[in-house]
Structure 1
Amino acid sequence: MKPTRTLLRGLEVMEVLSRASEPVGPTRVAELVGLDKATVGRLLHTLCEAGYARQNDSGAYQLTAKIMRLASGATLQPGIRELAHGHLLALRDVTSETVHLGIRDDDQVIYIDKIDGTHPVRLVSAIGQTMPLHTTALGKVALAWMAVDEREKLLARLPLTARTEFSIVDLDSLRAELDRTRARGYAIDDRENEDHARCVGAPIVAQDGEVVAMISVSGPSYRVTDADRVADLGMKCRDTAAIISGEFGRTGTI
């Protein structure tokens, strides 16, 4: 049986994008795969339509993290996952709650690691699962530590859809919450993404100040019941993220 040529060409384009350290223009992609620009343009458009690539304001392309969902627990950033995993275990052990590691993929968050809490009743989530930015602690972290001009461009097109009655759907209210998040060093999701769950999150930051990933601690609201418990989890999450950030700064692994 002969292979499907279009599929093979599309995979070649994906491989080119995966090896690039920055977004690549269609002309350069065409040169690297040895195809004409029109063919590459159609392939890139198809990848964007399917959600596996995106085009930036300058017309260059890069892969999204959607491909993670095709691989059982695989991640586009294995270095940060491996670096963080032991610390996530330790954080789970001191909190007894579910811990996540996530990255931002444009207007959503993707879980790239998860460690279940020790309690019989746990929150349901999975590696590779995507969540909104504005209703999750991980997403608020990504927004709060983003450059203001970049954040405002994103907020301008971000659908502030309510997931619960507690979701923040007003832009000014969200901006104020992001300011509070940055000031205290951790984000809070107070039943905003799921009716019966509270969550805190903190950034893993590179030496240049860029957030490369986020960690969170989540528990059912009947266990995480008051401001003191939320603050305790938030500070533990923040401290763990700072330790991982320090190790990341020394190794440069990602």
Structure 2
Amino acid sequence: MNDAESRSTRPSVQGAAALTKGLTLLQCIPELGQEASARNIQQRLGLPRPTVYRLLNTLEQEGFIEKNPLGGEYVLGREILRLAQQTMAKSSLQERVRNTLKAIGKATGETVHLGVPFGCHMTFVDKVESPEAVRMASYIGMPVPMHSTSVGKAYLAALDDSAREQYLSQLKLEAVTPQTYTSLEALREELKRTQERGYAIDDEENEHGIICFGLAVHAADGTVAGAISVSVPRYRLPDEGEAQIVGSIQELCREAGLTM
């Protein structure tokens, strides 16, 4: 091989080596579980510290990993979930909830989402489209803020005080619309109202003209696993619409054993 050929192949070799290290790191994270800190990952892989931090930073930027706001360890991110969705993987929660999503969609005639926490946001992992002409521009794998969505507020309100405060301490309360809660005091009050009424409301806080109603759902072991929401264009919501939609969500989730 001459010098020119050697130079032309060098980047691909280096790229392959970096890819191999990145994939090994991804495999390492679920193996370590709650011990998947940067230091423990470095020790497990035996790589130089700058290399590990560079890989972690790149993978986090691309959405393949995220930091768990509760424990600080790294977890697999939303991009992994999106890729899994495009193939065949279905989580146990999705399998338990799928028929309920369909039933809620049929009962309300509106778009239904299942959201689960990934890092400091929620991610839609399943969706039932409304048969109406005007539909939501959401998609499976889409990340949405916790503080401005009904799935996020329903999830936060259902957590115990300690877990909820750990999330709140790390959320970026950015204004998505003029109606978004952007202070911790206001958000805490809204979460308190959510607990009292038993469901969350996103009143055009995440998207203009859209109101959403959310209810936390539990995994088979009883832990809070995510939330279901129904999204409705405000012009399509009748006077008794909120009570009817929320009643359908609560009844169908209760029948499916998804609520405590």
- TM-score, normalising length: structure 1: 0.83
Structure 2 equivalent of residue 238 of structure 1? 250
Larger Rg: 2
What is the CA–CA distance in structure 1 between the aligned matches of 2:89 and 2:192, rounded to whole Å?
Answer: 29
Q: Partner amino acid for 1:52?
A: F
Identify if the C-alpha distance between structure 1 residues 182 and 74 changes in structure 2 by more than 3 Å, giving closer, same or farther: farther
Aligned mate of 2:149, from 133, 136, 160? 136
Q: Deviations over 1:146-188 (max 9, x none)?
A: 2222322322332222222322223222212111212222111
Is 2:184 aligned against 1:184?
no
Deviation of the 1:108 alpha carbon = 1.1
Q: Within 5 Å, which residues of 2 pair with 1:1-254? A: 4-26=16-38, 28-30=40-42, 33=45, 35-36=46-47, 38=49, 39-55=51-67, 60-70=73-83, 73=86, 78-206=91-219, 209-226=222-239, 228-246=240-258
Q: Deviations over 1:110-139 (max 9, x none)?
A: 110111112222222111111111111001
Deviation of the 1:75 alpha carbon = 8.8
What is the CA–CA distance in structure 2 between the aligned matches of 1:136 and 1:71, rounded to whole Å?
Answer: 24
Q: Secondary structure at the match of 2:236?
A: coil
Q: Partner amino acid for 1:10?
A: G
Structure 1 equivalent of residue 3 of structure 2? none
Deviation of the 1:212 alpha carbon = 0.8
Identify if the C-alpha distance between structure 1 residues 82 and 169 changes in structure 2 by more than 3 Å, giving closer, same or farther: same
Assess if the C-alpha contact under 8 Å between 2:42 and 2:52 holds in 1. yes
Unaligned runs of at least 5 residues, structure 1: 250-254
Identify if the C-alpha distance between structure 1 residues 156 and 40 changes in structure 2 by more than 3 Å, giving closer, same or farther: closer
What is the CA–CA distance in structure 2 between the aligned matches of 1:173 and 1:224, rounded to whole Å?
Answer: 26
Cα RMSD between the aligned structures?
2.8
Identify if the C-alpha distance between structure 1 residues 48 and 164 changes in structure 2 by more than 3 Å, giving closer, same or farther: closer
What is the CA–CA distance in structure 2 between the aligned matches of 1:60 and 1:27, rounded to whole Å?
Answer: 10
Structure 1 equivalent of residue 8 of structure 2? none
Unaligned runs of at least 5 residues, structure 2: 1-11
Give the number of aligned pairs: 246
Q: Secondary structure at the match of 2:182?
A: coil
Identify if the C-alpha distance between structure 1 residues 186 and 11 changes in structure 2 by more than 3 Å, giving closer, same or farther: same
Q: Partner amino acid for 1:202?
A: L
Q: Secondary structure at the match of 1:4?
A: helix
Structure 1 residues 228-237 or 201-210, which shifts more?
201-210
What is the CA–CA distance in structure 1 between the aligned matches of 2:126 and 2:88, rounded to whole Å?
Answer: 9
Assess if the C-alpha contact under 8 Å between 1:91 and 1:237 holds in 2. yes
Structure 2 equivalent of residue 252 of structure 1? none
Structure 1 residues 173-182 or 91-100, which shifts more?
173-182
